[in-house]
Amino acid sequence: MEAFLSSLVSVAFHGAAYGMILYVISVGLSVTMGLMGFVNLAHGVFAMAGGYILIAAMDRFGVSYPLGLALAFVLVAAGSVVLERLLYSRLYTAGELAQVLFTIGLIFIAVATARLLFGTLQLLVPLPDYLKGQFGLLGRDFPAFRVFLIAFSAVMVGILWYGVERTRWGAMVRAAVDNGPMAQSIGINTRRLFTITFALGSGLAGLGGALGAEILTVQPTYPFEHLVYFLIVVAVGGLGSLRGPFFAALLIGVTDTACKYWVPQFGAFFIYVATIAILLWRPAGLFGRQG
Amino acid sequence: MRFAGLVNKLLVGAALLCAATASAQTIKIGVINTYSGPFATLGDLIDKGFKLYMKQNAAKLPPGVKIELVIRDAGGPNPDKAKQLAQELIVRDKIQILTGVVFTPNAMAIAPLTQEAKLPFFIMNAGTSVITTRSPYIARFSFTLWQSTYPLGAWASRKYKTAYIAVSDFAPGHDSEAGFERGFTEGGGKIVGKVRIPLANPDFVPFMQRAKDARPDVVFSFIPAGRQATQIMKAYGDLGLGKAGVKFIGPGDITTDEELPNMGDLALGVITMHHYSAAATRPANKAFIAAWKKEYGEKSWPSFMSVGAWDAMDAIYYVIREQKGRIDPDRTMALVKQYKNPNSPRGPIAIDPATRDIIQNEYMREVRKVGGQLANVEFETFAQVKDPWKELQKK
Amino acid sequence: MIRRASYGEPARIGWLEWLPWAAALAVFFALPEYVPLGARILVYILFALSLDLILGYAGIITLGHTAFFGLGAYVAGILGAKLGVTDPLLQMAAAAAAAALLGVATGAVILRTRGLTLLMLTLAITAILLEIANKATALTGGADGLSGISVTPILGQFRFDMFGKTAYLYCLLVLFAGWWIVRRIIYSPFGASLVGIRENVVRMHAIGSPAYARLIAVYTISATIAGCAGALLTQTNQFVGLNVLSFEFAGELLVMLVLGGVGRIYGAFVGPLVYMIAQDQLAKQFPEYWYFGIGLLLVAVVLFARGGLLGIADRVVSKFRGERR
């Protein structure tokens, strides 16, 4: 019994860490897809870029870990604005097929670029000593880094929710998600709103990619390998929602960890089955508006 | 077609070219290796291994004979691609000997072709026992996982009572699991749990957490050599398994010489069984390391894969020499069955004529600090081990 | 004359349409070294053709078409390696039947949805198959791949040789049959109704066309053809690896089709041909640059040349004609 409880704690803890990372990476995708209806399969590219920026900044320029995280956020956000203005914006009205193809093209380019710049190895983040080792809590040892990861992500989520629920910018975003044309007609500059939101979402993905480099290892095929999970978080959670993806991400994180822990022979099987079941039951996701 | 329009031709060694006479006879050797993807370092170590051999031993070829390498990249464990490349090398490039191959799945996919084409295939790495039984034209110069894990299991059963097994979910992992389990349980040990980890796996922590929660005396693990091994070592450290008194052991893949610096002090005390350590003090190995460092820099270390490549190339030179440059497939295989080298960097080796698999010493090693650097220090030798799996099959 | 093939256009097979087949035969005799590559190209053409039918004509956007290809490949492979069914035509029939079943079963469930949900469902179904193939090692070989597949000579006469000659002609015949069927469908009223559904499903409902049933029908047909293509790959390679079900492969297939041109039959011929030859010639030494180029190409096609290579050819031809007039 004690052994079972202890394994339950293990699964919940590691599942939460994984789920938090998935959420920080995917939430931007959910909001931008909800805002513009743009099928952006290349979202994982931003997360990967964040991971590489952190590692390169620390390895090559001797930047400290916190500053590296900040850089990952800022640089990815800035880069995404350029991409959005130059390329994405041409395809808002182009239909899903064009968007799917275009973003797959971006993935191919990003994968190749990552290989050329960083080689094909999985890179490891040189963690600072204060995040290594174990952290004692309620008579158990937890890996210190994952404790930090959960706490830090929780703070990020808190700030994000406050921003969307309580600020003027958040109100505009919510209005635009609910009804874009109407929001525009009452004077909200949805175009600019979208660019800002896109940058913020991509920046978060970059931050998530950097933070989660231990769990989702940083290597060139990253955008392909983890795309399915990011998309599942968004589709299952519901487009344009903040809360939906949060529960979806935790659900996936805990289920995935539980499967690895108890029934590794089934792999990710249950996650995909659950995804299909949820989408058939509620095609617009758990928290999406059913059309 | 042999001389015309071949785009990806690679001629090796300017020195070789200069030495060749006008009536030079060219032997085409196909190399299927891994140069891209997450396992590119492994391919690089092999590449450096056989190229170093060729550079050092150019004089060992008969006069007028030169070697043309046709090098292809399978990009990791990618059997489809490997098979396709092998077919092209046979049909289009008309190679006479095939070598290379890091991964078992790739070797397994290629095996039937070598039989149909009567193409001698000298494996530089892939270590699943069954491979050499798939075609009479295969000979192996690396190792089998049974060779290290079976004796390791027997050794461990004398020191520990319970073990947990965590291996990569592909053929070499299955072999390691079976080899260790057999050796360990025959010696009276008990397996308290096992897990197979997906080959393309992002996160080892949940698997190691489970191993820790099972409270074994020792965790046995096989993970493809390279970065993955470093990651599982990190998971072992982060979760505090060492602090909880759980030892970590496995075949040498989990503490390869070139990854040790990345692992740091976490790896101290890890015990492995393997056929090669760069830290070995045999004269042949010292000379090999010196040549390597001269060629590739003071910081560079060869691994067991480099030695596999080195020895396979030595065997290729041997069959070419014995046949005076005219390669006949069946004669080549007959010759290679007689192949012996008492002075390989890894110690004395030979090819078992019955199985075309390698016979070599296996060494127990422990990770210790030598002159401020981590190294696999050999402390016990199991002499001239034949592949136990094939020996057990015979019984 | 390169025209967007559809109902209403003259359905007679023009002389230009015989040209690819003549060229394929010419390659067989003139370039024996390239026959194994040729056989692979033929397989991908058949696969791309099946995708064109649902994507280009019926407008079903899927990222999971490899599910059917992979299923076909594994069914043929498991029959040959584990169950002792070594006749190639029997293997092919079984692969086609399995793919058709999966097509009708999943189609009935997922084709009611649209957009991101549909995309996700196709992706998740393929991911499940991949997971099964990865884990059911006793049957599929898992990450090691499925080897030791025996295939007896076709009709007891033609052995699959190492040089790929039998395989090439066999693939060519199957492709011809697939092409003929797809062509018949496209030029039929059924084909016209698919285009109608793609363009405006509400209006199709209004004129009493059973859109959902027709989508299931075409989805199943397409799945069947993809299954056959998968079986072909197994038989020519005598090996099946996990990557037949991978997302990257689905992406590559899309690239091939889009490169040739979507919704115009011969786009599915031109795309894989150009892609595979370019890959064969360019990608061996520089795989990094290769994928960079592919990505760039895809972005460029989407931004500037939606019709793909054939679309560009169309424009050139019409411009040329316009000037002469």
pLDDT of B15 reads 37
**B282 φ/ψ angles, rounded to the nearest 5 degrees:** -60, 145
- Say whether pLDDT at B27 is over 60: yes
- Say whether pLDDT at C138 is over 60: yes
CA distance C115 to C33: 44
- Touching C (3+ Cβ pairs <8 A), the chains are A, B
- Say whether pLDDT at C310 is over 90: no
Helix (H) or strand (E) holding B250: strand B247-251
pLDDT of A112 reads 87
Cβ distance C142 to B79 less than 8 Å, yes or no, reads no
Of residues A102, A267, A279, nearest to C131 (C-beta):
A267
Using an 8 Å Cβ cutoff, are C276 and C44 in contact?
yes
**What confidence category does residue B244 fall into, taking pLDDT thresholds of 50, 70 and 90?**
confident
**What confidence category does residue B13 fall into, taking pLDDT thresholds of 50, 70 and 90?**
very low
pLDDT of A289 reads 67
Cβ distance C302 to A39 less than 8 Å, yes or no, reads no
Structure-block tokens of residue B146: 């049974």
pLDDT of C15 reads 79
pLDDT, tens digit, 9 for 90 and up, residues B255-303: 888 788 778 788 888 999 999 988 888 899 999 999 999 999 888 889 8
Angle at which helix A243-262 crosses helix A269-281, to 10 degrees, equals 150
Cβ contacts of B308 within 8 Å, gap of 6 or more: B46, B49, B124, B125, B141, B142, B143
Of residues A102, A232, A267, nearest to C302 (C-beta):
A102
CA distance C102 to C70: 11
pLDDT of B2 reads 41
pLDDT of C283 reads 67
Cβ distance B8 to C285 less than 8 Å, yes or no, reads yes
What is the average pLDDT across C24-52?
Answer: 91
Helix (H) or strand (E) holding B251: strand B247-251
pLDDT, tens digit, 9 for 90 and up, residues C171-192: 999 999 999 999 989 888 888 8
**What confidence category does residue C137 fall into, taking pLDDT thresholds of 50, 70 and 90?**
confident
Find chain A residues with C-beta within 8 A of C301's C-beta. Answer: 101
What is the average pLDDT across C298-303?
Answer: 86
Using an 8 Å Cβ cutoff, are B383 and B350 in contact?
no
Cβ distance C255 to A280 less than 8 Å, yes or no, reads no
pLDDT, tens digit, 9 for 90 and up, residues B107-159: 999 998 999 899 999 999 998 999 999 999 999 999 999 999 999 999 999 99
Could you please state the CATH topology (level 3) that the domain comprising B145-274+361-394 is classified under: Rossmann fold (3.40.50)
> CB-based contact (8 Å) between A115 and chain B?
yes
B277: closest CA among B269, B286, B268? Answer: B286
Using an 8 Å Cβ cutoff, are A258 and A54 in contact?
no
pLDDT of C281 reads 78
pLDDT, tens digit, 9 for 90 and up, residues B117-126: 999 999 999 9
Q: Which residues make beta-bridge pairs with C266?
A: none
Structure-block tokens of residue B325: 């440059």
Structure-block tokens of residue B169: 């979910």
Chain A: closest CA distance from residue B19 (Å): 36
Residue A185 lies in a domain: yes
Structure-block tokens of residue A287: 């928290």
Residue ranges of alpha helices (H) inside A37-123 are 43-61, 65-86, 96-118
Structure-block tokens of residue C131: 């997971």
Low-confidence winner among B38-42, B109-113, B283-287, C101-105 (lowest mean pLDDT): B38-42
Q: B10-143+283-356 — its CATH code?
A: 3.40.50.2300
Structure-block tokens of residue C118: 């549909």
Percentage of residues in chain C having pLDDT higher than 70: 94
Strands B162-168 and B138-140: unpaired
Residue A97 lies in a domain: yes
**B347 φ/ψ angles, rounded to the nearest 5 degrees:** 105, -170
A235: Cα separation from own chain's centroid: 13
CA distance A219 to A223: 9
Classified as helix, coil or strand, C96 is helix
- Say whether pLDDT at B66 is over 50: yes
> Which residue type is seen at A119?
G
Residue A174 lies in a domain: yes
pLDDT of B273 reads 92
pLDDT of B263 reads 80
> CB-based contact (8 Å) between A9 and chain B?
no
Angle at which helix A96-118 crosses helix A43-61, to 10 degrees, equals 20
pLDDT of B213 reads 85
**What confidence category does residue C323 fall into, taking pLDDT thresholds of 50, 70 and 90?**
low
Of residues A121, A143, A226, nearest to B40 (C-beta):
A121
CA distance B67 to B69: 6
Find chain C residues with C-beta within 8 A of B73's C-beta. Answer: 284, 287
Radius of gyration in angstroms for the set of CA atoms belonging to chain B, rounded to a whole number: 21
Domains held by chain A: number = 1
Using an 8 Å Cβ cutoff, are B276 and B258 in contact?
no
pLDDT of C285 reads 62
Using an 8 Å Cβ cutoff, are B249 and B281 in contact?
no
CA distance C71 to C76: 8
Cβ distance A109 to C134 less than 8 Å, yes or no, reads no
Cβ distance C113 to A98 less than 8 Å, yes or no, reads no
**What tens-digit pLDDT sequence spans chain A (291 residues)?**
677 787 888 889 989 999 999 999 999 888 888 877 788 899 999 999 999 999 999 988 889 999 999 999 999 999 999 999 998 888 888 888 888 889 989 998 998 898 888 876 677 788 888 887 778 777 677 888 889 999 999 999 999 989 888 898 888 888 888 888 888 888 888 888 889 989 999 999 999 999 998 888 888 888 888 888 898 899 888 887 888 899 999 999 999 888 888 887 777 788 888 889 988 888 888 887 655
Residue ranges of domains in chain B: 10-143+283-356, 145-274+361-394
Using an 8 Å Cβ cutoff, are A238 and A250 in contact?
no
Find chain C residues with C-beta within 8 A of B104's C-beta. Answer: 144
pLDDT of B9 reads 39
Strands B10-11 and A140-143: unpaired
pLDDT of B22 reads 36
Q: Which residues make beta-bridge pairs with B197?
A: B168
pLDDT of C71 reads 97
The per-residue b/e assignment along C117-129, b for 16 or more CB within 10 angstroms, e otherwise, is bbbbbbbbbbbbb
Q: How many residues does chain B have?
A: 395
Chain A: closest CA distance from residue C74 (Å): 18
Find chain A residues with C-beta within 8 A of C58's C-beta. Answer: none
pLDDT of C284 reads 65
Residues C185, C186, C189, C194: is their CA dihedral positive or negative?
positive
Structure-block tokens of residue C298: 């895809």
Find chain A residues with C-beta within 8 A of B205's C-beta. Answer: 14, 143, 146, 215
CA distance B255 to B267: 8
Question: Exposed (0-12), middle (13-18) or buried (19+): which is C158, by Cβ within 10 Å?
Answer: middle
Using an 8 Å Cβ cutoff, are B253 and B376 in contact?
no
Cα distances (Å, whole numbers) of residue C117 to C120, C156, C163: 5, 47, 45
pLDDT, tens digit, 9 for 90 and up, residues C249-294: 888 898 899 888 888 888 899 999 998 888 887 766 666 677 888 8
pLDDT of C141 reads 85
The torsion defined by the Cα of C9, C11, C16 and C18, in degrees rounded to 10, comes to: 160
pTM given for the model: 0.86
A7: Cα separation from own chain's centroid: 27
CA distance A239 to A248: 12
Which residues of chain C approach chain B closer than 8 Å at the C-beta? 32-37, 40, 134, 137, 142-145, 147-148, 162-164, 237-241, 243-244, 281, 284-285, 287-288
CA distance A52 to A114: 8
Range of the domain at A206: 16-220
Residue A99 lies in a domain: yes
pLDDT of C117 reads 85
pLDDT, tens digit, 9 for 90 and up, residues C215-262: 999 999 999 999 999 999 999 988 898 889 988 888 889 889 988 888
Q: Which residue has the higher pLDDT, A267 or B75?
A: B75
The per-residue b/e assignment along B297-333, b for 16 or more CB within 10 angstroms, e otherwise, is eeeebbbbbbbbbbbbbbbbbbbbeebebebebeebb
Q: How many Cα atoms occupy the beta-carbon half-sphere of C193 within 13 Å?
A: 19
